[in-house]
Amino acid sequence: METKDIKAFGTEAAEAPLKALDIKRRAVQAHDVEIEILYCGICHSDLHSARNEWHGTMYPIVPGHEIVGRVTKVGDHVKNFKVGQLAGVGCMVDSCRECDHCKSDLEQYCDEGSILTFNSPDKHLGGHTFGGYSQSIVVDENYVLHISDKLDLAGVAPLLCAGITTYSPLRHWKVGPGQKVGIVGIGGLGHMGIKLAKAMGAHVVVFTTSVSKFDAAKELGADEVVLSTDSEQMAKHAKSLNFILDCVSAEHNIDSYLNLLKVDGTLTLVGAPMEPLPVTSFSLLLGRRSFAGSAIGGIAETQEMLDFCAEHNITADIELIGVNEVNDAYERLLKGDIKYRFVIDMASLK
């Protein structure tokens, strides 16, 4: 298959910093869309993958799955995209398309395993896929998303992961007016959860371990903010919440939040702690409560989320950086020194 060399930014080893690399992209096929990448968000999973912290990383790796750009070429059979249009690519670039999940617009749960935007097998060129820290990307149109020109494009980029990761469970558990919804943690995921739950009409209660984040939570749209380490504040919300979105990726006490749920309430985990989270059986049994998890969303739901955000003027709060600042951004990410997502201006990749 014909290929094209493009510039990218990645690493060839877990212990090595990211640097400029040359990678190959396939030539546009009949159903493909070629996108010039304008902005790419930095997700914590980029860092985990680059440093092989989840194991199984294939090197060289070019991270990035929060991609916003402009269509530069389309295949002969492409129906839904035209050259010059804005387009986005999220966490997936393909799936089996044949299993029940794929046929139900749940490609993220593909039985064969969806093809991730980076570090997945590349069925076209062999080897593995390369992500959005690059000049351009070629993706089948069925996995490309329409991006509104109404919003700041850099702020849209994190919606392709952080946005859909929080939107999907809020929609699945039917969050809306008349409900009291808890958001645990105010970070890259949590700040999106606050904005989305509020836009859906819920009464939003934010839980944080830091008093210094109270004002920020209110600015994001929280109706109430609770210091989760204060037992008296927590007790005031016992058995009062319909739904809790848990965005924390560190070890924390799940029971303390389950006990805030009403009967039939659900706590859904979207953070990814590395250690198991113990749960006391009676925290579930005595209120017929559920402890669930959720990944991203399918392509149709991701488009729905993008349209919802355009309608409600929702973007991520970001810090825009150049590609040569990525290694420093990773170190700051480890320290939590970001409010709330880094986005790379890919014009800086020369």
Q: Residue 344 belongs to a domain with what CATH number?
A: 3.90.180.10
Residue 281 lies in a domain: yes
How many C-beta atoms lie closer than 10 Å to residue 168's C-beta? Answer: 23
Q: Residue 220 belongs to a domain with what CATH number?
A: 3.40.50.720
CA distance 309 to 146: 12
Residue 145 sits in the same domain as residue 180: no
Q: What is the pLDDT of residues 213-224, one digit of tens each?
A: 999 999 999 999
Residue 214 lies in a domain: yes
Tell me, what's the pLDDT at 197? 98
Residue 320 sits in the same domain as residue 261: no
Q: Give the β-pairing of 341-345 and 318-321.
A: parallel
Residue 132 sits in the same domain as residue 183: no
Task: Give yes or no for a contact between 271 and 142, defined as CB atoms under 8 angstroms apart.
Answer: no
Residue 155 sits in the same domain as residue 166: no
Residue 143 sits in the same domain as residue 166: no
Mean pLDDT of 4-13: 97
Question: How far does CA 34 lie from the centroid of its chain?
Answer: 22
| Per-residue DSSP letter, 101 | H
Can you tell me whether residue 198 is helix, strand or coil?
helix
Residue 147 lies in a domain: yes
Task: Give yes or no for a contact between 206 and 227, defined as CB atoms under 8 angstroms apart.
Answer: no
Query: What is the average pLDDT score of the chain?
Result: 97
Q: What is the pLDDT of residues 128-175, one digit of tens each?
A: 999 999 999 999 999 999 999 999 999 999 999 999 999 999 999 999
Residue 81 sits in the same domain as residue 198: no
Q: Model's pTM, two decimal places?
A: 0.96
Task: Give yes or no for a contact between 314 and 340, defined as CB atoms under 8 angstroms apart.
Answer: no
Q: Which of 188, 182, 184 is nearest to 202 (CA)?
A: 182
Q: What is the CA radius of gyration of the chain?
A: 20
Tell me, what's the pLDDT at 132? 98
Can you tell me whether residue 224 is helix, strand or coil?
strand
Residue 28 sits in the same domain as residue 110: yes
Q: Measured on CA atoms in the order 220, 164, 49, 87, is the torsion positive or negative?
A: negative
* H/E run at residue 70: strand 67-74
Tell me, what's the pLDDT at 331? 97
Q: What is the pLDDT of residues 69-128, one digit of tens each?
A: 999 999 999 999 999 999 999 999 999 999 999 999 999 999 999 999 999 999 999 999
Amino acid identity, position 45 = S
Question: How far does CA 148 lie from the centroid of its chain?
Answer: 18
- CA–CA distances in Å: residue 113 to residues 67, 118, 129, 144: 21, 13, 14, 18
Mean pLDDT of 262-266: 98
Residue 125 sits in the same domain as residue 232: no
Tell me, what's the pLDDT at 66? 98
Tell me, what's the pLDDT at 350? 77
Residue 308 lies in a domain: no
Instruction: Check pLDDT > 90 for residue 242.
Output: yes
For the chain, what's the residue count?
Answer: 350
Residue 62 sits in the same domain as residue 139: yes
Tell me, what's the pLDDT at 259? 97
Residue 104 sits in the same domain as residue 182: no
Residue 307 lies in a domain: no
Query: 5: pLDDT confidence band, cut at 50, 70 and 90?
Result: very high
Tell me, what's the pLDDT at 326? 98
Residue 126 sits in the same domain as residue 178: no
Tell me, what's the pLDDT at 137? 98
| Per-residue DSSP letter, 136 | E
Residue 121 sits in the same domain as residue 166: no
Structural domain tally of the chain? 2
Tell me, what's the pLDDT at 274? 84
Residue 304 lies in a domain: no
Residue 343 lies in a domain: yes
Q: What is the pLDDT of residues 271-319, one digit of tens each?
A: 998 889 999 999 999 999 999 999 999 999 999 999 999 999 999 999 9
Mean pLDDT of 339-346: 96
Give me the domain span that covers residue 274.
Answer: 162-293
